[in-house]
């Protein structure tokens, strides 16, 4: 009798264990199914709204947030409707596309890469041209400070968003399940859309003009003040070859591949403080004057390249109240540069290039840099 009870107990225990196993299985299946549904729903929402424009152009009625240059620029270049592209470093961030559209008579977008070296921006420019056959004009900064880097050098401290720059959807998981995308971009975009807030525009995209204080005191406080000139070794033939390789790869390829596109390349009007800090005081003046001349000579080989320089506008470069540091100028300076480029003013040509650089050499070699401190 006892054996019978024991057997019955064992059977009951076995049934209970089997029942527990089934319950746990149902729990895990239902839990993982719910997680899978949530993940698929989140993925679907990211792909549908697409805050980085990786899959499609923006939808009407969606209030998109424009904030992350390196994550959003490729999608803008790939899917937006435009004929004029503004691209470059932070020297381009304060341009207003509405003004460019008015001056040039064509739809414009802006895709700046703050701190971008030549290769990164050249690659982005090339991708935009391959995406959009309607591009007629490219406006891009010539930041000579990066000219002496290796042609393949990229800024290692900026965000790396290259997984968004190809057509391989299998490497999109860092975008689809990105914490900031899921918990900032999506809810912010949805909330703004429900509140009927207009989507961000390219006038404000990456613009810092209203956020950084300007003025001589601000600039001088941020400036390096070398007490005495520091001797620097002269540039070598190897240095010049490095420069030419950089220019050839990162500026000349796209004009050669797209002869029907007009390329407006400009030297940003850095302040006289920059000339002193970076060229004059460290005895690099001759090196950089050679850099300007070499870049100009090489780029003017193409008829569709237009080079602009505003260094002769000493009312701008010599007025330190126009700057937030030795390099970054006010939004009003960006506005004026667009006007000049649209007019064809301050353009360097094959005919005037030697005379122009001789004039710039004379101005900044003999500038009264002590007057900055008065």
User: The domain containing residue 96 runs over which residues?
Assistant: 69-373
pLDDT at 91 over 90: yes
Predicted local distance difference test score (pLDDT) of residue 27: 46
Whether 292 maps to a domain, the answer reads yes
pLDDT at 365 exceeding the cut of 80: yes
Per mean pLDDT, which range of 34-38, 170-174, 211-215, 229-233 is the poorest?
A: 34-38
- Tell me how crowded residue 312 is: count the other CB atoms within 10 A of its CB: 14
- 108, 84 contact by CB (below 8 A): yes
Residue 294 included in any domain: yes
In a domain, 6, yes or no: no
Question: Residue 92 falls within a domain, yes or no?
Answer: yes
> What pLDDT does 226 receive?
77
Asked if residue 155 is part of any domain, the answer here is yes
CA-nearest of 162, 6, 138, 135 to 70 is 162
Q: Going by C-beta distance under 8 Å and a sequence separation of 6 or more, which residues neighbour residue 362?
A: none
- The 10s digit of each residue's pLDDT in 132-154 is 999 999 999 999 889 989 999 99
Which tens digit of pLDDT belongs to each residue from 333-361? 999 999 999 999 999 999 999 999 999 99
CA–CA dist 81, 98 (Å, integer): 14
Q: Give the pLDDT confidence score for residue 236 in this predicted structure.
A: 86
Does 226 fall in a domain? yes
Least confident of 107-111, 281-285, 367-371: 281-285
Do the domain assignments include residue 154? yes
Average pLDDT over residues 85-105: 98
Q: Given its phi and psi angles, is residue 255 left (phi above 0), alpha (psi -120 to 50 degrees) or beta?
A: alpha
Please report which residue ranges of the chain form alpha helices under DSSP H.
2-49, 69-79, 97-104, 118-131, 173-176, 179-180, 186-194, 216-222, 237-247, 253-257, 272-274, 285-299, 314-317, 331-343, 353-365
- 73-87, 97-111, 159-173, 223-237: least confidently modelled range: 223-237
What is the pLDDT averaged over residues 68-84? 97
The domain total for the chain is 1
Mean pLDDT of 172-189: 92
Residue 305's closest CA among 340, 338, 261? Answer: 261
Residue 129, domain CATH: 3.40.50.1110
Sheet with 262-267, side-by-side order of all strands: 108-112, 84-88, 137-141, 262-267, 305-309, 347-348
| pLDDT tens-digit series, residues 293-305 | 999 999 999 999 9
> Residue 11 has what pLDDT?
47
Bridge-based pairing state of the strands 305-309 and 108-112: unpaired
Does residue 8 belong to any structural domain of this protein?
no
């Amino acid at each position: 009798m006892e054996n019978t009870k024991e057997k019955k107990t064992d059977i009951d225990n076995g049934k209970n264990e089997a029942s527990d196993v089934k319950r746990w299985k149902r729990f895990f299946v239902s839990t993982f199914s719910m997680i899978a549904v949530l993940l698929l729903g989140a993925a679907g929402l990211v792909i549908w709204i697409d805050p980085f424009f990786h899959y499609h152009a923006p939808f009407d009625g969606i209030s998109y947030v424009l904030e992350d240059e390196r994550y959003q620029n490729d999608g803008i270049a790939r899917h937006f409707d435009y004929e004029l592209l503004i691209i470059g470093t932070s020297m381009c961030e304060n341009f207003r596309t509405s003004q460019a559209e008015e001056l040039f008579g064509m739809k414009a977008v802006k895709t700046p890469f703050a701190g971008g070296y030549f290769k990164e921006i050249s690659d982005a420019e090339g991708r935009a041209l391959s995406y959009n056959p309607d591009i007629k004009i490219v406006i891009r900064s010539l930041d000579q400070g990066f000219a002496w880097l290796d042609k393949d050098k990229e800024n290692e401290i900026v965000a790396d968003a290259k997984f968004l720059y190809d057509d391989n959807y299998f490497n999109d998981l860092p975008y689809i399940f990105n914490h900031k995308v899921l918990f900032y971009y999506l809810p912010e975009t949805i909330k703004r859309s429900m509140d009927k807030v207009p989507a961000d525009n390219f006038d404000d995209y990456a613009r810092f003009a209203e956020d950084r204080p300007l003025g001589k005191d601000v600039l001088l406080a941020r400036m390096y003040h070398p007490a005495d000139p520091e001797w620097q070794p002269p540039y070598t033939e190897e240095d010049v070859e490095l420069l030419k390789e950089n220019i050839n790869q990162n500026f000349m390829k796209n004009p050669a591949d797209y002869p029907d596109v007009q390329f407006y390349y400009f030297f940003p009007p850095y302040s006289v403080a920059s000339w002193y800090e970076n060229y004059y005081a460290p005895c690099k003046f001759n090196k950089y004057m050679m850099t300007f001349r070499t870049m100009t000579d090489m780029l003017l080989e193409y008829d569709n390249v237009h080079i602009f320089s505003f260094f002769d506008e000493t009312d701008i470069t010599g007025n330190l109240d126009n700057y937030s540091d030795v390099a970054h100028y006010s939004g009003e300076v960006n506005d004026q540069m667009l006007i000049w480029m649209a007019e064809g003013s301050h353009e360097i040509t094959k005919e005037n290039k030697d005379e122009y650089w001789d004039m710039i050499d004379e101005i900044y070699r003999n500038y009264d840099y002590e007057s900055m401190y008065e």
